[in-house]
Chains A and B, each alone.
Chain A
């Protein structure tokens, strides 16, 4: 199933089952969505529930919060996370805090969906991965969908959830055809063990999952049997699954596409330090994006983020340096 079709199916089923579910955003209606996620929904549910908005991100999220307060279940689509910066006040000062500030009286059943990451040469204002801007905020649930199965189940869960969910997608995944599994007892907060292994735990999420899988094939040739874990949920973080794996492998690497300083890996490493420091044979290795805005030139763009080759090289070097 196409990744984007999995998302579409989740929205479609929720809109079909519950009249209070609406979707709003730029080009989501007649155009069918920039990445075709909302394709066909307007003809099925009409323009009152599939809402084409002006270019006004702050209002898209703000309006969604208001709709949620009034009893709807809005899905706000922000074209990319880069533009969500314009909506951050509504997301952080409002969506994340209303329930707490009101002593638990307010309920905000809202999803903000958006893709991020490096696509292909879209340059600095269109290529960011801002997950830690949201995963550092109390009051938000932050999920990432790296695959069709999680995209479908995770988004369905998010739409039904009574709390605000930031649902992160990746621009390069939309057209990818992926294996799809129906899951009965789906838990959005569980990390997925993508591949079991004995020697090394590699944590990752979103599009880097595929780069890690590529890298692991190469590592195998060096006799390294890596366990790959997809975090899925960034807040809350499934530290239990992570700690269990580290207990077994004694070594941990995190591969992320966002900037290294203050990136997702920083928080993951901090939690590992607290939970399983004594299980580690070596310092955790962070393989992340460089601390620069993403450049347009393809060679520089690729140099700014992890790639399978770089992942392999860095792991081999790290192993040699630490004698592990």
Chain B
């Protein structure tokens, strides 16, 4: 851990958290609607992975704002997307669950559980064919690890030695279903260890996530095939804004809140004398400024025009031919 790293990690995690809190606020105000899945509590996973896996392609599911921000997506266009505005990263057509930016090699934002995994595997096949070393990063939840598409994906990736990192974000719950009720394993590495090298890390500790991804990605870069990483983490909020999350106990929540990724990084950095309190206050102020700017941008942006309803279905050549 060094000062530069602390700054990057802290800034991005705080940015993620404040972004989510603002999104929640504006959901209540009616500026944001639909399914809004917050990442609060899980910031270390989003930030640690994206900082370490800084090249290559990224495929993710619907709980993805912080991952997108950590990948470098501008908070303004993410917030504008949540507001359903024309200036949003998906022009207001996708919303919270569907953030895409090929310029960042960020390919969504898929809301069919595990639906992005075979796609990520296909991308990894292409990268191997193209001689690209960085490979593909695919993140998914404990719930997704029970889907057929997951098992097909680890099998194919392993059989063909594809350059892909499967990252299981185990927050124990798929909506209201605990992983232990529907899987013989609570430790998801058990599902993959006969197929590829597996790693575990503490999903509440950004440094551990970062270090583990850094270590594991060497295997991919050396052309040795896929890897699987599991991080245990916890979402502080319900599954989405439509879920109160009543199926979880206060005690369980407390255990994880005590390990809060942002607070703990701060404490550790101060203990190690890398920085002082004031330093974090400055970063907080910067975050506040950036988030307010994002909300202002989103709120003042125009809505899409009705004509846009029929746009973007096909590429240019077909757009005018097919009604």
Contact = CB atoms under 8 A, between A and B. Distances in A.
B303 A297 contact: yes
Given A125-B98, A126-B34, A296-B94, 5 more contacts: A31-B175, A55-B144, A55-B146, A121-B33, A126-B111
A76 to B, nearest CB: 15
Contacts of B304: 295, 297, 299-300
Nearest to B313: A292
Nearest to B62: A125
Contact of A303 (B90, B110, B113, B306): B306
27 contacts: A26-B177, A27-B175, A27-B177, A30-B176, A31-B247, A55-B113, A55-B146, A55-B174, A56-B148, A82-B112, A83-B112, A121-B34, A124-B93, A124-B94, A125-B110, A290-B310, A293-B313, A295-B304, A296-B93, A296-B98, A297-B93, A297-B95, A298-B84, A299-B304, A300-B92, A300-B304, A300-B308
Contact of B143 (A54, A83, A290, A296): A54
Contact of B93 (A83, A122, A300): A300
Contacts of A291: 323
Contact of A292 (B92, B111, B181, B309): B309
A136 interface: no
B126 interface: no
Interface string B140-178: 000110111000000000000000000000000011110
B128 to A, nearest CB: 27
A53 interface: yes
Contacts of B34: 120-123, 126, 296
A292 B304 CA distance: 15
Interface of A: 26-27, 30-31, 34, 52-56, 58-59, 82-83, 86, 120-126, 290-293, 295-300, 303-304
Interface string B61-93: 000000000000000000000001100001011
A83 B147 CA distance: 12
A125 B90 CA distance: 14
A303 B92 contact: no
The 8 tightest CB contacts between A and B, nearest first, are: A296-B95, A31-B176, A54-B146, A121-B34, A54-B182, A297-B84, A121-B33, A297-B92
A180 B250 CA distance: 40
A58 B152 CA distance: 13
B35 interface: yes
B108 to A, nearest CB: 10
A255 B321 CA distance: 27
B23 interface: no
A52 B175 contact: no
B138 to A, nearest CB: 16
A30 to B, nearest CB: 7
A121 B175 CA distance: 19
A56 B115 CA distance: 11
A224 B182 CA distance: 56
A255 B146 CA distance: 39
Interface residues of B, number: 38
A27 B310 CA distance: 36
Which of A120, A125, A291 has the most C-beta atoms of chain B within 10 angstroms of its own C-beta?
A: A125
B182 A53 contact: yes
Contacts of B117: none
Interface in B264-321: 303-304, 306, 308-310, 313
Nearest to B36: A121
Residue with the highest number of chain A CB atoms closer than 10 Å, among B84, B98, B304: B84
Contacts of B323: 291
Contacts of B98: 123-125, 296
A125 B97 contact: yes
Contacts of A26: 174-175, 177
B114 interface: yes
Contact of A122 (B35, B90, B114, B147): B35
B177 A52 contact: yes
Nearest to A125: B111
B194 interface: no
A122 B96 CA distance: 9
A56 B144 CA distance: 9
A27 B176 CA distance: 6
A55 B90 CA distance: 27
A296 B109 CA distance: 13
A120 B35 CA distance: 9
Nearest to B181: A52
Residue from the set B85, B95, B114, B306 with the largest chain A CB neighbour count within 10 Å: B95
Nearest to A28: B177
B306 A300 contact: yes
A122 B98 CA distance: 10
A304 B310 CA distance: 9
B211 interface: no
Nearest to A59: B148
Contacts of B181: 30, 52
Nearest to B310: A292
B215 interface: no
Contact of A299 (B95, B110, B114, B303): B303
Given A54-B147, A123-B97, A297-B84, A30 B247 contact: yes
Contacts of B113: 55, 83
Nearest to B308: A300
A163 B95 CA distance: 40
Contact of B84 (A59, A290, A296): A296
A82 B98 CA distance: 16
A292 B35 CA distance: 20
A126 B95 CA distance: 12
